[in-house]
Structures are given as C-alpha cells and as structure tokens.
Amino acid sequence: MLTLITVLVGGVQPGHAQPRSSPPTSQAVLNEVSQLNKRVEKLYSKGKFGEALPLAERALALREKALGPMHPDVAESLNNLALLYQTQGAYPKAEPLLVRALDIREKALGPMHPAVANSLNGLAELYRAQGAYPKAEPPLARALDILEKALGPMHPAVANSLNGLAGLYQAQGAYPKAEPLLVRALDIREKALGPMHPDVAQSLNNLAELYRAQGAYAKAEPLYVRALDIREKALGPMHPDVAQSLNNLASLYWAQGAYPKAEPLWVRALDIREKALGPMHPDVAESLNSLAALYYAQGAYPKAALGPRARR
C-alpha cells in the first residue's frame, strides 16, 4: 500500500538553518523533553498511543515554556501530538495542531524550508485518511514544489513526496496520473541510493501495486520479484519487510488463481512474522487469514478452519 510517511520526533533537514540554541537555564527542561520524546517514540512503536499522549502533551508544554510558542521545536512537538491523535482516529483534535505547526515553521524558517514541506505532507495525510482527497492534493503539490526547489529534483525526499502524491491519485483511481510520479520516484531512488537500497524495493512495490490494481499482472510480477530480492539481500531473509514482499507476490498469484504458487509464499511470510514479530502480532493474523482463504478457495475446509498449523 502507498503511504505518506509522518516521522515521529523528526528534526529539521540537515544543511539548513537551525534555530538558535537555548540558554543554559532552560537546558534541564529540554533534557527532560528529550527523554519524554524517547518514551513517546517507544510507546508509539508498541501501539500504546493512549499512554504516549500525556507524555507528548507534557513535552509540548515544556518546549513552549522554555523556547516560546513560535520556536520550530514547538512545531515538532505539535506534529508528534497530532500524529498520536490521528493514529487513534481523533482527526478533529489533530488538525489544529498540524495547522499551527505549519504556521510556526513558515514564520520561523521561511515558506520554502523543507520542514514546511514536512508539515504540509502531514496535513495532507490527515485529509487523505479522512477521504478528503480534494483538500489533500494542494498541500502535497506545494510540498513537492518546495522540496524540488530546496533540495534539487533528484533528492530522495523528492521521491518520498512523489510517492505521497501518487498514493493520493491511486486512492481515487486516477492511475494515469499516479504512474509517471511512481516511475520518477523509482528513478530518483535508484540513482541517488543505488539499485539495491530498501527504498528502491519500496518504489518497486508501489509501482507493482498500481499495476496489480489495474489487473496488469504481467507488469506487476517482475517488480514484486525484484523488490523481494532486494529486501532479502539488504535486510536479511527473516526481516518483516521480506514477509510483506512475499505477501504481495502471493496476493498477485492468488488474484490469478495460481494457488500452488501462492501457498509457499504465504507460509514463509507467516513463519517470518511469527518469529520476528511474535505470534500475537496483527501481521501474523493477516497471514493466517490469507492462508485460510487460500485453503477455503481450494475446498480444503479442514485446513481452512485450523489454518496452516493443520499442515504441521
């Protein structure tokens, strides 16, 4: 699936003006903020969004008091808090935080700073998550323009922005508008990062997903296969991203009724996810469901009821 990436506890892009350092009197407060951010990030990664919320709120309050309400770091804290609300579906609470963060960055850093593009992407993702596609497109387009001008047309951040805009078009079924953006993003990543970089695998996967959605299975398959090869070599054969690639390729075969080709891929994806993520992870449930559906489609009802463990 194509996604926009919102970075929790993200910083200002390197190579651009950084805010002035805080006076020594506030350093202890900022050290506390740093520790709070680490705890928030850890809780977020575990899906404990409710526990992270009060910590993110305190980090925001401390930064506002120590640095002032218009400091770029306050915008970062606003983004972090908004992401926690958004992840829980509390969109009305997230939007004013993202709007305020954007305003701070525009005034403190200038309208063409990459951090402004980051805020625009975050706001667009909020709208996209609500299905408000017309509201999402202008900030995505503006973010892309900022990044191209600030960082150059071949920067990996530009590829990220292209993926976001393409994902928006794909969600609306506007495949002809999405394809050239995905092709360009793939080209940037191959040239900027090298042909075996995991981000190249992501771009290959995105383009394959676009073709699969249109029923162009012959165009999708070699892209999925190449993405799988990159991930196995770059990340190792037991990485969760390898399981995702296996799942994608299996789904392609499933869509074509090639069940014997799909089954071993889904079995391997399940094994990776159980070992890498633990038996109770939602991705494990997804793999179990996929295999059960496969067995059911073939009339192997006992195996479908028991899942792949019926094979063991």
DSSP 146-189: HHHHHH-TT-HHHHHHHHHHHHHHHHTT-HHHHHHHHHHHHHHH
Long-range contacts of 279-287 (CB under 8 A, 24+ apart): 283/240, 283/243, 286/247, 287/243, 287/247
Residue whose token pair is 């950084």: 18
- Give phi and psi for 45, each to the nearest 5: -65, -25
Residue whose token pair is 């509201």: 135
Give pLDDT tens digits along the chain (312 positions): 343 334 454 443 433 444 445 555 588 898 999 999 999 999 998 889 999 999 999 999 999 999 999 999 999 999 999 999 999 999 999 999 999 999 999 999 999 999 999 999 999 999 999 999 999 999 999 999 999 999 999 999 999 999 999 999 999 999 999 999 999 999 999 999 999 999 999 999 999 999 999 999 999 999 999 999 999 999 999 999 999 999 999 999 999 999 999 999 999 999 999 999 999 999 999 999 999 999 999 988 888 776 655 444
3-state helix, strand, coil in the chain (%, to 5): 80, 0, 20
pLDDT of residue 178: 98
Q: What is the pLDDT of residues 95-105, one digit of tens each?
A: 999 999 999 99
Nearest to 291 by CA among 167, 281, 271, 161: 271
pLDDT of residue 306: 66
Q: With contact defined as beta carbons under 8 Å apart, do 161 and 144 qualify?
A: yes
- Beta-carbon neighbour count of residue 208 at 10 Å? 26
List, in order of start, the domains of the chain with CATH numbers. 1-13+27-151 (1.25.40.10)
- Beta-carbon neighbour count of residue 15 at 10 Å? 9
Residue 307 CA, distance from chain mean position: 30
Q: With contact defined as beta carbons under 8 Å apart, do 194 and 157 qualify?
A: no
pLDDT of residue 83: 96
Q: With contact defined as beta carbons under 8 Å apart, do 160 and 122 qualify?
A: no
- Give phi and psi for 174, each to the nearest 5: -90, 65
CA distance 244 to 256: 19
pLDDT of residue 21: 52
CA distance 287 to 283: 6
Q: With contact defined as beta carbons under 8 Å apart, do 109 and 76 qualify?
A: no
